[in-house]
Amino acid sequence: MWLLYAFGSALFAGMTSVLAKVGIKNTDSNLATALRTVVVLLFSWLMVFIVGSQHTIGMISSKSLLFLILSGCATGASWICYFKALQLGDVNKVTPIDKSSTILTILLAFLFLGETPTVYKAFGVVLLAVGTYLMIQRQEFDSSEAKNRSWLFYAFLSAIFAALTTILGKIGIQDIESNLGTAIRTIVVLIMAWGIVLFQKKHFLLKDIDKKSWVFIILSGLATGLSWLCYYRALQEGKASLVAPIDKLSIVFTIAFSRIFLKERLTKKAFIGLLLTIFGTMLLLF
């Protein structure tokens, strides 16, 4: 069953990137992240009450709570970096770097969770690295993006924090219901996101957000909520080194949606990179 949840996570994560790209087009990325987190929080706690796991809050161990908080902090940092990168760069270029967090996740799973990588996984990691490199080649950037390379920095930071999120989250949800764990993590992300917005005094920009941006910010929040619920349910039942690669297949959905709705096209070299990334990801499952 964890396999089904992992693929569900990939689907909704793919939708999130495109919806968020539209939503933050005319909105500050940190403010948009904070607003999306409100939607995710409401949705995740709704699921907690639907499954009735709110009664088990008092049974959460201090260790689980600590790692859930740390996972939430890593998630918040990853989100802030990712959506800043999305605002500055194309979805087709930002997403491959973010999804390369799989490589670091496998390494951390080996070091801290005792999940031993196989020869297939090692070869898959190599293909992922090569595929990602081909998809972000400098010569494919347009002139305006070539002048602003800061999105690359934010995208790599997003990948690092995303890998930490998976490992910390895996440890944190081992002894509690996955929906409750997701909801608790979201509280941490919310506090972190709004703390940054208030510190930067970006909350004054709320009145400037147009209706279209509001709609897409809310939709991206719902997609994120669904992705999280599926992901952490899969993570609770399956190995982190297996769940993470499947989740990263969201790149396929992201690129398909970006082609349809954002008219972003892949070059031949980027397409080859995408194929290598997909093949490498599939090898990680053996």
pLDDT in tens, 62-97: 999 999 999 999 999 998 998 889 888 888 778 888
CA 23 to chain centroid, in Å, comes to 16
User: What pLDDT does residue 138 have?
Assistant: 53
Q: To the nearest whole number, what is the mean pLDDT of the chain? A: 87
**Helix %, strand %, coil % of the chain (to 5):** 85, 0, 15
Residue 140 pLDDT grade (very low, low, confident, very high; cuts 50, 70, 90): very low
The answer to whether the CB of 217 falls within 8 A of the CB of 16 is no
User: What pLDDT does residue 247 have?
Assistant: 81
The mean pLDDT of 190-216, rounded to a whole number, is 93
Tens-place pLDDT, residues 2-58: 889 988 998 998 898 889 888 888 889 899 999 999 999 999 999 999 889 999 999
List the domain range (segments joined by +) for residue 204: 2-283
The angle at the Cα of 20, spanning 18 to 23, to the nearest 5 degrees, equals: 115
The angle at the Cα of 229, spanning 88 to 191, to the nearest 5 degrees, equals: 60
The mean pLDDT of 222-240, rounded to a whole number, is 88
Report the b/e string of 27-63 with b at 16+ CB within 10 A: bbbbbbbbbbbbbbbebbbebbeeeebeeeeeebeee
Q: Could you say which DSSP state residue 140 is in?
A: G
Which segment of 41-55, 59-73, 196-210, 241-255 scores lowest on mean pLDDT? 241-255
Tens-place pLDDT, residues 108-130: 888 888 887 788 888 888 998 89
The mean pLDDT of 252-260, rounded to a whole number, is 85
Tell me how far apart the alpha carbons of residues 76 and 20 are, in angstroms, rounded to a whole number.
Answer: 15
Q: Total structural domains in the chain? A: 1
pTM of the model: 0.79
Q: Closest by alpha carbon to 89, among 130, 127, 140?
A: 140
The answer to whether the CB of 69 falls within 8 A of the CB of 125 is no
